[in-house]
């Protein structure tokens, strides 16, 4: 079957750095998405990786290793507004999005 694994919950301190991991086993791979979802709000697009390596976008970076079936989202200089759920999703060989259950990130002052 197809599976996306990510931690259920993480806690970090304001100003610090946090890494949210995502591992996947899917039938084929056509890219990996990260979305941010604040409580009661729409998921919003953060990043898309299809090639190995690190993509940086301001305070957020996303890394992909296709051979390991692994990605992470790196958040630097954490702010209170970064408290949200972070969803990992993989496009399989049929271009179907397979979603993880999300990681709830709690930022403490």
Partner 1 sequence: ETGVTQTPRHLVMGMTNKKSLKCEQHLGHNAMYWYKQSAKKPLELMFVYNFKEQTENNSVPSRFSPECPNSSHLFLHLHTLQPEDSALYLCASSQDSSGGAETQYFGPGTRLLVL
- Please report whether residue 53 would count as binding partner 1 according to CB under 8 A: no
- Please report whether residue 102 would count as binding partner 1 according to CB under 8 A: yes
Q: How far apart are CA 38 and CA 77, in angstroms?
A: 18
- Please report whether residue 106 would count as binding partner 1 according to CB under 8 A: no
- Please report whether residue 56 would count as binding partner 1 according to CB under 8 A: no
| Span near partner 1 by CB under 8 A; candidates 17-25, 42-50, 55-63, 64-72 | 42-50
DSSP string, 46-70: EEEE-SSEEEEETTEEEEEETTTTE
- Please report whether residue 101 would count as binding partner 1 according to CB under 8 A: yes
Q: How far apart are CA 3 and CA 108, in angstroms?
A: 31
| Span near partner 1 by CB under 8 A; candidates 27-35, 52-60, 65-73, 76-84 | 27-35
Alpha carbon 3 to its chain's center:
14
SS3 82: helix
| Span near partner 1 by CB under 8 A; candidates 11-19, 41-49, 64-72, 73-81 | 41-49
Q: Which of 42, 57, 67, 81 binds partner 1 (CB under 8 A)?
A: 42
Closest CA to 77 of 12, 11, 10: 12
């Amino acid at each position: 079957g197809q599976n996306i694994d990510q931690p259920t919950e993480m806690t970090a301190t304001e100003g610090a750095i946090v890494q949210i991991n995502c591992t996947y086993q899917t039938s084929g791979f056509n890219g990996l998405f990260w979305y941010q979802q604040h409580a009661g709000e729409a998921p919003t697009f953060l990043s898309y990786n299809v090639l190995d390596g690190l993509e940086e976008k301001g305070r957020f970076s996303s890394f992909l290793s296709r051979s390991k079936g692994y990605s992470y989202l790196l958040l630097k200089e954490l702010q209170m507004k970064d408290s949200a759920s972070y969803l990992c999703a993989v496009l399989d060989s049929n271009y179907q999005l397979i979603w993880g259950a999300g990681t709830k990130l709690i930022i403490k002052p």
